[in-house]
């Protein structure tokens, strides 16, 4: 008995020091660790708030306590131990809200049953792994991770993401076989997805623009898009003052397709080109690559092929030169672009190459929209990168049976939803 009495103060001192260490490890603000205990699989840490006053989730301080209860929150694991935070949580009769609400706790978001560190860890991981993989790593269930993603996405969507839109881009992406598409709208100034709608038609984009209201539509200055008329018609109807910017990639793609037609015509005419030490058959295999590759990337062999075309097949060489000159449109200063485009259209119409004559007519119809993209330096490259990210999201999950889950993952990964590791937040 005497030995036990002598050891009791030592044990209490060790317990106090362990509580201090836990307090430092947890890093919760305005919080004190009162005690802890180990079970077979969990470390339960009992904490309390330092302040006597209550804080409503709206930020209003009060002393009007309504009642209290004991609650647990799941925290990030310590090694092999599941960590559970336990504390008394009170309800406050908030005059600002006009109702009774549960008080704000510094370690958890309002209404959550997981600590903020746990949620931040899960959100960071789910951007890089499948939900099943995140659940296995964090020792929780797939349903828990799914509910967490949904809540974070919904909270962010209720924010002011639409209040400052000025320059936007729109594109579509197929999310399932059978011509199932999504319409994606992104903000060029922030790089974030601001809208995801089911379908690829004029009505989907028009409904999004209508949801901005009169003030929001007036703020829209420019809309970048590809060559499809679907979104262009909706923009002309809802935001007629906005400048339409046609994606440069698709303009050059048209030129490449016209060049392919000219090349195919030469193939049908049995073009014979030879470059030492290659045979005509070997050379022909490299002609298309030389025609498609930018001139500045040509090696001596492909440069020799182009020279052979210039001397022996001027028509095909003229088609290649038109393609290269159109590429120059996006490399020269913006103030020189209108004259360059005008001259290019004239040359293409007079070339006698049917594919480029047709292309010249198309570019003349879209003349202003092409120049808008050059003046404002806007393209759909942002949307293409987002689409690549969406395909990666689908591959990680091996597809989504529920479209709402896919849309929420898109907003979580590309919508600017904050997700930092706990080590970055303290």
* CA proximity to 228, closest of 172, 167, 166: 172
Which residues make beta-bridge pairs with 200?
none
Q: Does an H or E element contain 86, and which?
A: strand 81-94
pLDDT at 7: 35
How high is the pLDDT of residue 11? 45
Q: How confident is the model at residue 41 (pLDDT cuts 50, 70, 90)?
A: confident
* pLDDT tier, 274 (very low <50, low <70, confident <90, very high otherwise): low
What is the spatial distance between Cα 131 and Cα 136, in angstroms, rounded to a whole number?
9
First-residue to last-residue Cα distance in the chain: 46
Average pLDDT over residues 145-159: 81
pLDDT category, 340, cuts 50, 70, 90? Answer: very high
pLDDT at position 99, please?
79
Q: Is the pLDDT reported for residue 290 higher than 90?
A: no
- Residues 6+ away with beta carbon under 8 Å from 132: 142
pLDDT at 1: 47
Mean pLDDT for 57-77 is 82
- Compute the average pLDDT of residues 304-332: 89
**Mean pLDDT of the 129-151 span:** 90
Residues 65-94, mean pLDDT to the nearest whole number: 86
The whole-number pLDDT of residue 149 equals 87
Categorize the per-residue pLDDT at 267 as very low, low, confident or very high, splitting at 50, 70 and 90.
low
Mean pLDDT calculated for residue range 161-171: 91
**pLDDT above 70 (res 363):** yes
> In the numeric block, which tokens belong to residue 66?
């309504």
Among 229-238, 243-252, 303-312, where is mean pLDDT lowest?
303-312
Report residue 270's pLDDT band, with 50, 70 and 90 as the boundaries: low
Strand partners, 78: 81
pLDDT tens, residue by residue, 387-406: 999 999 999 988 888 899 99
Angle at 338 between CA 336 and CA 343, to 5 degrees: 100
In this prediction, residues 274-282 reach a mean pLDDT of: 68
Q: Can you give the pLDDT at residue 55?
A: 83
HEC-encoded secondary structure of 287-352: HHHHHHCCHHHCCHHHHHHHHHHHHHCHHHHHHHHHHHHHHHCCCCCHHHHHHHHHHHHHHHHHCC
* Of 6 and 188, more confident: 188
Q: Which parts of 97-238 fold into alpha helices (H)?
A: 116-126, 131-138, 142-157, 202-211, 213-219, 229-238
Please, what's the b/e burial string for 349-360 (b: 16 or more CB within 10 A of its CB; e: otherwise)? bebebebbeebb
Q: What is the pTM of this model?
A: 0.82
Q: In which band, very low, low, confident or very high, does the pLDDT at 268 lie, cut at 50, 70 and 90? A: low
pLDDT for 241 equals 94
Which is nearest to 224 in space by CA: 198, 195, 188?
Answer: 188
Mean pLDDT, the chain, as a whole number?
86
């Amino acid at each position: 008995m005497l030995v036990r009495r002598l050891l009791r103060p030592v044990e209490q001192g060790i317990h106090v020091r362990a509580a201090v260490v836990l307090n430092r490890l947890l890093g919760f603000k305005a919080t004190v660790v009162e005690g802890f205990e180990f079970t077979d699989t969990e470390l339960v840490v009992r904490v309390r708030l330092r302040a006597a006053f209550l804080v409503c989730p709206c930020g209003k301080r009060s002393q009007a306590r309504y009642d209290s209860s004991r609650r647990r929150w799941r925290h990030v694991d310590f090694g092999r131990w599941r960590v559970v935070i336990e504390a008394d949580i009170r309800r406050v009769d908030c005059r600002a809200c006009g109702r009774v609400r549960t008080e704000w706790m510094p370690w958890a978001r309002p209404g959550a049953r997981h600590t903020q560190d746990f949620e931040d860890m899960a959100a960071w991981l789910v951007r890089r792994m499948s939900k099943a993989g995140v659940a296995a790593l964090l020792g929780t269930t797939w349903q828990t991770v799914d509910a967490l993603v949904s809540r974070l996405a919904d909270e962010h969507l209720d924010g002011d993401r639409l209040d400052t839109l000025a320059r936007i881009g729109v594109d579509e992406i197929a999310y399932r076989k059978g011509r199932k598409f999504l319409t994606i709208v992104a903000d060029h100034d922030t790089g974030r997805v601001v809208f995801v709608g089911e379908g690829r038609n004029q009505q989907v984009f028009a409904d999004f623009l209508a949801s901005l209201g009169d003030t929001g539509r007036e703020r829209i200055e420019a809309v970048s898009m590809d060559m499809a008329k679907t979104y262009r018609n909706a923009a002309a109807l809802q935001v007629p003052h906005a400048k339409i910017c046609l994606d440069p990639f698709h303009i050059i793609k048209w030129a490449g397709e016209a060049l392919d037609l000219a090349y195919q015509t030469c193939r049908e005419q049995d073009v014979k080109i030879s470059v030492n030490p290659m045979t005509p058959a070997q050379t022909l295999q490299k002609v298309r690559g030389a025609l498609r590759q930018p001139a500045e990337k040509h090696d001596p062999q492909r440069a020799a092929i182009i020279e052979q075309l210039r001397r022996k097949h001027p028509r095909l060489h003229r088609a290649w030169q038109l393609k290269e000159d159109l590429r120059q449109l996006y490399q020269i200063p913006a103030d020189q672009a209108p004259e360059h485009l005008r001259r290019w259209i004239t040359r293409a119409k007079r070339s006698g190459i049917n594919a480029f004559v047709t292309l010249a007519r198309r570019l003349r119809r879209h003349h202003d929209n092409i120049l808008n993209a050059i003046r404002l330096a806007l393209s759909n490259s942002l949307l293409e990168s987002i689409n690549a990210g969406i395909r990666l999201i689908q591959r990680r999950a091996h597809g989504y049976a529920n479209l709402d889950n896919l849309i929420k993952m898109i907003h979580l990964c590309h919508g600017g939803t904050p997700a930092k590791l706990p080590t970055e937040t303290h």
